Amino acid sequence: MNPVQKNEYRGHEPQNDTPQKPPYDAAHIAREEKTRAVWKHFHTIADKYDFMNTFLSLGIHHLWKRRAVKMMGLKENDLVIDVCGGTGDLARRAVRAMQYQGQVIIYDINSAMMLKGLEKIRKMGLEDHICCVQGNAESLSFPSHLFDAAMIGFGIRNVTNREACLREIYRVLKPGGKFMCLEFSLPASSWFRALYDFYSFRVMPLLGKHIAGSREAYLHLPESIRRFPLPPVFAEMIRDAGFSDVSHTSMTKGIVVVYQGCKK
């Protein structure tokens, strides 16, 4: 059996270049193209993704993820969705946080990323706790009010329609359900920002080219971070999706931010 379940939404897989017909308008085509470009980007780097994360962040991403999952306060037997879960770092941490008594569904558009993650999941004997579903985060293929908690790590920045994604996460959470979003941001201090810019635009793309075989993928990363809304603005978007008690907490001088919210 295919370990990655597909939902009905398949618009993200690269298709033949068939001409677009109505009701596709220019904006729709642009959105489809962005989603496809993101798909291609992660497909290209899937094999090297985990190694590059650790290498480029000097291992700090593990600390960010550990702290972010801890902040969620997961309980035994919770059902959790890891939206844009990729290779499953957050999912595996969540299972540990639930004392190996809960379930996590990794939901991602890219099967190559999830298949990579499944290798680790199997090695760690976590198959009974984690499964993967392929689909677009803008339309989650689950009924409403199903999950105790939802998380999205370094994923929302890549989603074309972020508002739709946040609304979908809100919909599938149970009343009282918790939401956590871990995302990059920009350091506030000017000297640190200069250093960070140099590393992001000069060093990272070069390492990406030589190690992961894609300069573009690792140039896309700093560029997309700079286009992403600043924490107060993104926190407002989370509120607009319906969440209450929204907060944001910076880590490592503002390089990453943990957003939290609750469905009342």
Ligand X SMILES: C[S@@+](CC[C@H](N)C(=O)[O-])C[C@H]1O[C@@H](n2cnc3c(N)ncnc32)[C@H](O)[C@@H]1O
| CB contact at 8 A, 32 and 38 | no
Site string for ligand X, 27-66 (x = CB under 6 A): --------x--x---x------------------------
CB of 209 to ligand X, least distance (A): 18
The residue (of 54 and 189) whose beta carbon lies closer to ligand X is 54
What is the CB-side half-sphere exposure of residue 218 using CA atoms within 13 A?
A: 26
Nearest to 87 by CA among 48, 40, 60: 48
Nearest to 166 by CA among 154, 157, 156: 156
Binder of ligand X out of 102, 153, 222, 231 (CB under 6 A):
153
User: Looking at 78-86, 195-203, 224-232, 233-241, which segment touches ligand X (CB under 6 A)?
Assistant: 78-86
Query: By beta-carbon distance, which residue lies closest to ligand X?
Result: 86
CB of 11 to ligand X, least distance (A): 10
CB of 216 to ligand X, least distance (A): 15
Binder of ligand X out of 103, 111, 158, 260 (CB under 6 A):
158
Q: Which two tokens stand for residue 119?
A: 């290798």
Binder of ligand X out of 78, 116, 155, 208 (CB under 6 A):
155
Site size for ligand X, by CB under 6 A?
A: 21
Number of H helices, E strands in the chain: 10, 8
Q: Determine the Cα–Cα distance for residues 159 and 107; give it in Å rounded to an integer.
A: 13
Phi, psi for 117 (deg, rounded to 5): -65, -35
DSSP string of 75-121, one letter each residue: -TT-EEEEET-TT-HHHHHHHHHTTT-SEEEEEES-HHHHHHHHHHH
The residue (of 153 and 222) whose beta carbon lies closer to ligand X is 153
Residue 84 makes contact with ligand X by CB under 6 A: yes
Which residues contact ligand X by CB under 6 A? Answer: 35, 38, 42, 84-87, 89-90, 108-110, 113, 136-138, 153-155, 158-159
